[in-house]
Amino acid sequence: MDLGLNDKIALVTGAAGGIGSAIARGLCEEGCKTIFVDIDTDGLKRATRGYKPSAIEEICDITNRKKVKDLFKRIMIKFGTLHILVNCAAVNSAEYIEEIQDEILQKIFDVNITGYIYPTIYAIPLMKKAGYGRLIYINSNSGLKASAGLPLYSGSKYFNRGFAISAALELGKYGITSNSICPSDVYPEGEIEAKSWKNESLLKISFEKEGVSSLKELIKKRNSKNPMKRSCTVDDIKNIALFLASEKAGFINGQSIGVNGGTIPY
């Protein structure tokens, strides 16, 4: 299927690895000129290897409004427009409510909330000018059904869903759609690190909740409860993102799309 993405200009945050890298590379493969955005210089070099000149590296702290504004000024100068924004950069945290510390509270707010808001603010004028826009927010199953032990992470993902829906209601008349992709857990696979699963607190709380003692046991137990008997993969998420970015998805707007094999069937 021709998705009609050839020569579109796309930007993906959190593109140095994992889901963000997979989506950004997929956009390049579909013919987009894709701006890979991250603060990880070495990760960006790895992510863009073999994808240039379609892949453009941009170091940017998305929690800093001035730096994001300057990034979009450079995009305007170089390309004159932007068609697709994939907000993917995020951090995970796991703690019970009584254990919340100011440092992690601020980090979640900075990356998972303001880090989604700032790129959206500066993408909108460029999309309006183009008469075409796709705002895609990489969310989580925890944004569809909150999880015990993940109050900050779940809360930030619920916020992002609401923000994406508001954007859909505001911007549809300009030919701009806004949707959230809400995948279930993605575990390490191949060259995909799935950095969240290096978080000791997340592992500890997940093991406690499932009554297991290793990541291997956790994956096996959760997969056994999934109707599809497997985990979500980066390709599952990438494929949905590419479709939402395309002309084919022009009437899909304001949706929170679960990619979870049916564990949350709505």
CATH number of the domain encompassing residue 35: 3.40.50.720
Is 193 a member of any domain?
no
Is 194 a member of any domain?
no
Catalytic residue flag (residue 153): yes
- Find the Cα–Cα–Cα–Cα dihedral 66, 195, 227, 204, rounded to 10°: -110
Q: What pLDDT score was predicted for residue 105?
A: 95
pLDDT at 194 > cutoff 80: no
Q: How many domains does the chain have?
A: 1
Q: What is the mean pLDDT of residues 155-164?
A: 97
Mind listing the pLDDT tens digit for each residue in 42-53? 999 999 999 999
Is 204 a member of any domain?
no
Q: What pLDDT score was predicted for residue 195?
A: 72
Domain that holds residue 235: 9-187+231-259
Backbone angles phi, psi at 86, to 5 degrees: -110, 110
Mind listing the pLDDT tens digit for each residue in 237-253? 999 999 999 999 999 99
Above pLDDT 90, what percent of the chain?
89
Q: What pLDDT score was predicted for residue 231?
A: 94
Active-site residue among 116, 153, 158, 266?
153
Paired tokens of 121 = 């603010």
Q: What is the mean pLDDT of residues 137-155?
A: 95
Is 199 a member of any domain?
no
Is 203 a member of any domain?
no
Is 235 a member of any domain?
yes
pLDDT at 107 > cutoff 90: yes
Q: What pLDDT score was predicted for residue 193?
A: 62
Q: What pLDDT score was predicted for residue 188?
A: 80
**Predicted confidence band at 76 (pLDDT cuts at 50, 70, 90)?**
very high
DSSP characters over the chain: ---S-TT-EEEEESTTSHHHHHHHHHHHHTT-EEEEEES-HHHHHHHHTTTTTTEEEEE--TT-HHHHHHHHHHHHHHHS---EEEE---------GGG--HHHHHHHIIIIIIHHHHHHHHHHHHHHHHT-EEEEEE--GGGTS--TT-HHHHHHHHHHHHHHHHHHHHHGGGTEEEEEEEE--B--BTTB--GGGG-HHHHHHHHHHHT-SSHHHHHHHHHHHSTTSS-B-HHHHHHHHHHHHSGGGTT--S-EEEESTTSS--
> Mean pLDDT lowest for which of 46-55, 134-143, 187-196?
187-196
Q: What is the mean pLDDT of residues 78-98?
A: 95
